[in-house]
Amino acid sequence: MTYEDYIVRDKAICGGEPVVKETRVTVRTVLASLAEGASIQEILDDFPTLTERAVRAIIAFAAASAEEDLPLPNIPHIA
């Protein structure tokens, strides 16, 4: 699975924020729910247009975005 299959950006939808394809559910909304401790099932209950694969794609998208935006610093060697 690749997140590109599930996440799109369109200036006409939610101001160009990344959303789940064919919905108006933003990546930010799902990530905020996860950060607050919601389970995937709770998110699916709250947003019935989503699938578990879409939620997992959002997590993959966030991981890829974080890696691009915030490269990991060198980890010091501890003897």
The per-residue pLDDT for range 37-63, each reduced to its tens digit, is 999 999 999 999 999 999 999 999 998
Cα-flanking dihedrals φ and ψ of residue 32, to 5°?
Answer: -65, -40
Specify whether domain 3-69 bears CATH 1.10.10.10. Answer: yes
| Geometric angle at alpha carbon 76, from 73 and 69, rounded to 5° | 5
**Domain range summary for the chain, segments of one domain joined by +:** 3-69
- pTM across the whole model: 0.80
Q: 2-24 pLDDT, tens per residue?
A: 888 999 999 999 999 999 999 99
Q: What is the dihedral of CA 1, 21, 57, 75, to 10 degrees?
A: 120
